[in-house]
Structure 1
Amino acid sequence: MGYHFDFSFLQGSLGSLLAGLKVTLELALASNLMGLVLGFVLCLMAMSRVALIRLPAQLFIEFFRCTPALLQIVWFFYCIPMMVDVFIDPIAMGVLALGLNLTAFNAEAYRAGVQAVPKEHLDACVALGLKAWQRTLFVVLPQALRNAMPVLMTNGIGTLQQSALVAIVAVADLMYVGKSLATEAYRPLETYTVIALIYFALSLPVARLVHLIERRQDVALKR
């Protein structure tokens, strides 16, 4: 091959890349916060004995798990404004779409964590006379969060990567900025290589932390 890599054209585009990176981090952090909080709430709803609460929650989970994230983003960006006739900030819409998608996946992670809570702990709560909300907040949630942490963090990495999908609806995230630079400079190999390395640099520390947590949990279970 006679192609020669030349990254020098990116020197004048550092500001644009940093601005795109800022949007990507905002999307990822806000979506993860939303997914962590609402995921546990949705988990409790899906495990409820009341059918009117359980069935809609299960339908929500299956819908977001069984449809493409790209389709969800496009639907939120174009269909919701048409339905409610209200303009919503693109970044806020991106957080909503990504956050709800993550909520569904986190709900399943929390469910596995809740089911792993020893029955003896719940019996102790009853013996101590704790109310249902006290049992959920102070006993179930901490243990479920600990049990589900590796999966929750892995889901968070996935959301960071899926945030690149908002580029298709013209949200100026890192991927969108990279696409624009590649088109303007006719240097797609260099541009997308740099973008890929940035995503890799953001994801790798979290992935290593997940591995460390899993090892510690394995050691704790063997004791």
Structure 2
Amino acid sequence: MNYQFDFNFLQGNVGLLWDGLKVTLQLALVSNIVGLVLGFGLCLLTLSRWFFLRWPAQMFIEFFRCTPVLLQIVWFFYCVPMLFNVFIDPITMGVLALGLNLTAFNAEAYRAGVQAVPHEHLDASVALGLRPWQRTLYVILPQALRTAIPVLMTNGISILQQSALVAIVAVGDLMYVGKSIATEAYRPLETYSLIALIYFALSLPIAQFVQWLERRQDTALAR
């Protein structure tokens, strides 16, 4: 291999990469907030005893789990304006597409956590006279969240990585900026390797924390 790496092209482009990174972090952070909040609400709908609430929630989950994320992003960017005559700025549209996708996956993580709550705890909350919303907020949510946290964080890492797909619709994230720089500087190997390292540096600490958290939970359950 005679290829000579040359990163001199980064001079003058660091600011562009930083701007792209900020967009990527914004997409990932807001999408995770949307997914965490809406995911729990969607989970409760899937566990409802009423069919007219449970069935649409389950179909929502299956749609986002069984279709490619790239297709979802393209559909939101091009089909929503055509169907509803609604025009939203690209970052907000990206958050909407990624956030709803994450909502579906987080709902399943929450559901597993809710189903793991001991029935004795629910019976005790009923005996104490807690209202349904109080049981949900003070008994079910804390225990379900504790069980679901590793999966929720793993889903968060995935949405950070999948946010790179918004580059296909010209959102100025890290991947889009990197693609533009690689095209202009004729240095795709250095550019894409650098972008991969940035995503790796962002994801690795979270992945390590998830592994530590899982080991801690396994140790607590073994006692």
Q: TM-score range by the shorter chain?
A: over 0.9
Q: Secondary structure at the match of 2:12?
A: helix
Superposed displacement of residue 161, structure 1: 0.2
Q: Secondary structure at the match of 1:67?
A: coil
Bigger shift: residues 10-19 or 71-80? 10-19
1:181 aligned partner:
181
Q: Secondary structure at the match of 1:12?
A: coil
CA distance in 1, matches of 2:205, 2:170: 29
Q: Deviations over 1:173-196 (max 9, x none)?
A: 000000000000000000000000
CA distance in 2, matches of 1:146, 1:87: 39
Q: Please list, as runs of the form range in 1=range in 2, the aligned pairs for 1:79-90 lying within 5 A after superposition.
A: 79-90=79-90
Which amino acid is 1:23 matched to?
V
Superposed displacement of residue 203, structure 1: 0.3
Query: TM-score normalized by structure 2?
Result: 0.99
Q: Please list, as runs of the form range in 1=range in 2, the aligned pairs for 1:40-79 lying within 5 A after superposition.
A: 40-79=40-79
Please tell me the root mean square deviation across aligned C-alpha atoms, in Å.
0.5
Bigger shift: residues 2-11 or 170-179? 2-11
Superposed displacement of residue 87, structure 1: 1.2
2:20 aligned partner:
20
Is 1:202 aligned with 2:202?
A: yes
1:157 aligned partner:
157
1:9 aligned partner:
9
Q: Secondary structure at the match of 1:2?
A: coil
CA distance in 1, matches of 2:76, 2:165: 13
1:139 aligned partner:
139
CA distance in 2, matches of 1:124, 1:14: 58
CA distance in 2, matches of 1:7, 1:121: 59
CA distance in 1, matches of 2:75, 2:147: 33
Q: Deviations over 1:80-102 (max 9, x none)?
A: 01111121010000000000000
Structure 1 segments unaligned to the other structure (5+ residues): none
4+ aligned runs moved over 4 Å, structure 1:
none
Question: How many pairs does the alignment contain?
Answer: 223
Superposed displacement of residue 163, structure 1: 0.2
Which amino acid is 1:51 matched to?
F
CA distance in 1, matches of 2:164, 2:212: 27
Which amino acid is 1:43 matched to?
C
CA distance in 2, matches of 1:190, 1:120: 58
CA distance in 2, matches of 1:148, 1:8: 45
Bigger shift: residues 120-129 or 96-105? 120-129
Structure 2 segments unaligned to the other structure (5+ residues): none
Q: Deviations over 1:102-124 (max 9, x none)?
A: 00000000000001111110011
CA distance in 2, matches of 1:62, 1:83: 22
